[in-house]
Amino acid sequence: MAALRYAGLDDTDSEDELPPGWEQRTTKDGWVYYANHTEEKTQWEHPKTGKRKRIAGDLPYGWEQETDENGQVFFVDHINKRTTYLDPRLAFTVDDNPTKPTTRQRYDGSTTAMEILQGRDLSGKVVVVTGANSGIGFETAKSFALHGAHVILACRNMARASEAVSRILGEWHKAKVEAMTLDLALLRSVQHFAQAFKAKNVSLHVLVCNAAVFGLPWTLTKDGLETTFQVNHLGHFYLVQLLQDVLCRSAPARVVVVSSESHRFTDINDSSGKLDFSRLSPSKSDYWAMLAYNRSKLCNILFSNELHRRLSPRGVTSNAVHPGNMMYSALHRGWWVYTLLFTLARPFTKSMDLECRFDAYGDLHCPVLEAALFPKDFTCQFRQFLSL
């Protein structure tokens, strides 16, 4: 303190108040640094406290972050039509903990998708999300897009997909987001999607296999397979195979397969322990909607696990995730009984943007985004139950 007093740095009303000649600035990814105009230098530590700080929270409504020709970040207030180099969130900075917090400390059951991506710049990343016009898929696609990624909504219903694109653009007009047709119930459509995507000559850094159906009556697709099995598993399996070369060229890349805890309540082996193919695409007499869904989710996990084993040496990781118990979504639309069940359970479930939860083992799990973004080799919780 004697040295600070001698330098005149303690002559302020607040510990965090900057001495004369100093200015507080922020980087594009939310870290605070300090500019000393007298000595023409910058530093990360506060000149008085020695602490490092970072921005907390998103920009206020109507504000947008830009970069000038010199690479310096500035902020645009679209409501009041003004610009400033002062980050409006500087009043809400938090100290950077020198000890890196664990996932349990950083997130909890009320963490939103946007909060998980806070401070991340995904510019230059290309993301494909299937079934992205609603539910978890939409929130995932929106979160990626609002953080700079080029996001492709792969959907069967182009009218609803275009509406979803408009909603995202309504939140940020510079979002790089588009819709492409993908009908997982038609393998030819999967092939056409892969061809159209490759024609764009872009990378693919994250592929989120999210689309699914639930509680459908027994029907066969035009390919002659039971619909739940083809949409939930086989369509995605085929899609990944067709885009595998693009994923490997884009490494490091991720495949995220949205599965379910319901995979526990089924089996796909016969009495001798061998795979029973008739259970994957059953006849009408052997069909039960809930069991078909459970089997498709088990296939998701087995596929993700094997895909990770094969492609991780080439820089492509695959993660299977469980989005949360009884999460309210549009999955129930197949039968009025499921609609009633989901409606009664809705007060006890999460909204679509709450994509984090504590799993049954007390470990924090932030499924789709965590699996897509963790820089380390992410081992999904399901793998501990499998001996492959």
Which of the following is catalytic: 293, 328, 338, 361?
A: 293
Paired strand residues for 199 = none
**Measured between alpha carbons, how far is 203 from 379 in angstroms, rounded to an integer?**
24
Other CB atoms closer than 10 Å to residue 66's CB: what's the count? 12
Give catalytic status of residue 61 as yes or no. no
CB 27 within 8 A of CB 34: no
Residues 6+ apart with CB under 8 A from 56: 89, 92, 93, 94
CB 73 within 8 A of CB 52: no
Paired strand residues for 127 = 151, 206
Radius of gyration of the chain (CA): 24
H-helix segments, the chain: 2-7, 103-106, 113-116, 135-145, 158-171, 187-199, 227-229, 235-249, 277-280, 289-311, 336-345, 367-373
Other CB atoms closer than 10 Å to residue 246's CB: what's the count? 21
Q: What dihedral angle (degrees, nearest 10) is formed by the CA atoms of 365, 368, 373, 377?
A: 60
**Measured between alpha carbons, how far is 91 from 18 in angstroms, rounded to an integer?**
13
Q: How far is residue 66 from each of residues 74, 84, 90, measured CA to CA in Å?
A: 5, 10, 16
Paired strand residues for 285 = none
Among the listed residues 119, 118, 302, 117, the one whose alpha carbon sits nearest the alpha carbon of residue 127: 117
Rounded to 5°, the CA angle 42-46-50 comes to 120
- Residues labelled as active-site residues: 293
